[in-house]
Amino acid sequence: MGTSRSVVEAIDRLGDHGSAIGCGPWYPQFRTGPYEEVLVSNSKVTITLKKDASGQQYFSSVGNLTNLCGDDLNGSAVKTALPTLITPDTAKYLLTFPPEQPAPFDALPVNTGNGPLAPGEIPPGSYTKQFYDFGDGSTLVTEGPAFPKLTYLDDGGSAQFWVGFVGAITQGTGRFAGARGMASFNGSAYFKPFPPPPQFPAIVAILEKGFPANVAVCIKVITGDHLAGGS
């Protein structure tokens, strides 16, 4: 009887994504060196175009973390603020992708090409702050540049949006107090329908209403107790 119960409990555990091998979000096999910790997860967020009291536009993003099996991390939260300027002219940057790159790919040059901005330039004011709450009293905050792109699709007026980000850890609480490291994310959203560029007011209205996005998150961090003084 005891053996049967043990088998049932084992099967139940296999069905629990939160404890399944490979679901994460922490992956010690990906670390470099003896002290680094590596988090890989998804973040389900809602992104909304807003304005602050001065009239500065920004994208506000609010959501939570999940493991790679899609299970919510209890008590987790993700918050982002990305300054932006949405005008008919700056919108051209979203639609302009860099040119093809010359081989060999492990040597210069890098072809930044020509577009709405100077070669290699990211949109002004696109430096982003991000807040991660892991639901256990530990948090991390990062800051760095974001890189958005959008393309129209051939399924009847839809569009796919991406935004990439890389940021340095600026502060933390709990077990991440005094931590240092880097974070990156690659977020995306699908719009159907999505107005063509000449219908700019309709585009802004969609962004101001708010839209769901999925964000792949990777954080590489070393906790403060492993850092030399003054880091």
Mean pLDDT of 128-140: 96
CB-count exposure of residue 12 (10 Å: 0-12, 13-18, 19+): exposed
Residue type, 208: E
Mean pLDDT of 47-60: 95
Residue type, 124: P
DSSP states of the chain:
-HHHHHHHHHHHHHT-GGGSTT--SB-GGG--SSS-EEEEEEEEEEEEEEE-TT--EEEEEEEEEE-TTS-B-TT-EEEEEEE----TTTHHHHH-PPPPPPSPTTSS------SSSSTTPPPTT-EEEEEEE-SSS-EEEEEEEEEEEEEE-TTTS-EEEEEEEEEEEEEEEGGGTT-EEEEEEEEEEEESS---TT-HHHHHHHHHH-EEEEEEEEEEEE-GGGSPTT-
Band of the pLDDT at 137, cuts 50, 70, 90? very high
Band of the pLDDT at 111, cuts 50, 70, 90? confident
- For residue 22, pLDDT over 90 is answered with no
182 vs 100, higher pLDDT: 182
pTM, rounded to two decimals: 0.85
Mean pLDDT of 86-110: 88
Band of the pLDDT at 91, cuts 50, 70, 90? confident
- For residue 3, pLDDT over 60 is answered with no
Q: Assign 3-class secondary structure to 143-166.
A: EEEEEEEEEECCCCCCEEEEEEEE
Q: What are the boundaries of each domain within the chain?
A: 38-96+117-225
For 161-220, how does the pLDDT look when each residue is reduced to its tens digit (9 = 90+)? 999 999 999 999 999 999 999 999 999 999 999 999 999 999 999 999 999 999 999 999
